[in-house]
Amino acid sequence: MNKAHIWLRAETKPQEQRTALTPNNAKQLLDAGFEVTVESSRQSIFSDRQYQDIGCDIVQQGSWVDAPQNAIILGLKELPEATFPLVHQHIYFAHVYKEQQGWQALLTRFNQGNGKLYDLEYLVDENNRRVAAFGYWAGFAGAALATLAWANQHAGMQPPLKDINAYSDKSQLMATLSEAIEQIAVKPRVIVIGAKGRSGKGAVDVAKELSLEVIEWDLAETQKGGPFAELNDYDILVNCVFISGAAADGSSPAFINHEILSSKQRKLAVITDVSCDPYGAYNPLPIYKECTTFKSPCLSIIEGESPLNLIAIDHLPSLLPKESSEDYGQQLLKHLLSLGDTSTGVWPKALALFQQKVAETKL
């Protein structure tokens, strides 16, 4: 099997310090006979020197546009905006298959250049399960921010979070949380919905590491249908359930609503919606209509003496770029190692979906 040339594109999205290929993973590709080129990046959590020291070629940021045509361009987030035809094979999260803004223009560029897209979101196994995901660290970061927001609420801060920056590693984040919690006489009670999934496990682990009481809900606890008034008994709610369709009876009950939240007995003070689908028809938390950001992390759902804030950031793993990149990169690595033959493994299905979507732009 021929060994591919993988070209790691520098991320340009603001505050995106994650990468799809860590220095450790790059070394494993080099050891397997691959050629690995890495674009210089000032914002990556990993330095150019770390890649250079293990034998990667370091090139100028953005030079992928002039890369050899056989190079496979690997990235994480969207390409910089442009109009020129795309001639390479690309691997990244393109966010164009659900007719998101600009989807036709991007796919037309691939069609014009005869390039190919292997979308990371749609690399799936024989059971149509994604082979690599950031889910665990999304849940971990979501629960961490909810805990910090709760502590800041009790300290009188409003909004309880603003201008968030990524942490250098998990230990720095947990030290910040521990210090914040220690300043409060009481400890928050946490409930995680979707606790058995990847995101849910990450959220639960935060609570356990901080020795907080955590209740774990999953399908058995939610199958009766909401809304669930008992959620008001907890201080922090972390939702890790993404609902893509109605129930068998056609219903789509919410986990919580404004009527329940208006109760005078409400203790619930912070909600993190890890699944973050405010625009979807089946959003189980229909109490907000927009995502939040690292700059403005919290929406104020209820103000006053008993405030309720909601966090809905759609790139939560960026809070911990080192651990989330290491975890994701290790999941992806075995599939990158098969790139010498894209007619096998996860690649044919991803290519077929790309070709289907390109055809739809011509209708």
Angle, helices 321-336/135-154, rounded to nearest 10 degrees: 170
Query: For residue 222, what are the CA distances in angstroms to 158, 215, 313?
Result: 32, 13, 24
* Helix, strand and coil percent figures for the chain, each rounded to 5: 35, 15, 50
Query: Which of 31, 72, 21 is closest to 51 using CA atoms?
Result: 21
**302 phi and psi angles, rounded to 5 deg:** -135, 130
* Distance set, CA 253 to CA 157, 241, 289 (Å): 33, 13, 17
Calpha distance 322→330 (Å, rounded): 12
Look up 3 and say whether it is catalytic: no
Point out the catalytic residue in the list 77, 154, 315, 357.
77
Q: Residue 88 in contact with residue 21, Cβ under 8 Å?
A: no
CA distance 272 to 74: 31
The dihedral through the CA atoms of 230, 232, 236, 241 has a sign that is: positive
Q: Among this protein's residues, is 77 annotated catalytic?
A: yes
Q: Out of 3, 13, 27, 95, which one is annotated catalytic?
A: 95
CA dihedral 270, 285, 274, 148 (to 10 degrees): 0
CA 156, 278, 251, 249 torsion: positive or negative? negative
Nearest to 21 by CA among 57, 46, 54, 49: 46
Q: Is the peptide bond before 348 cis (omega within 30 degrees of 0)?
A: no
DSSP code of residue 232: G
Catalytically annotated residues: 77, 95
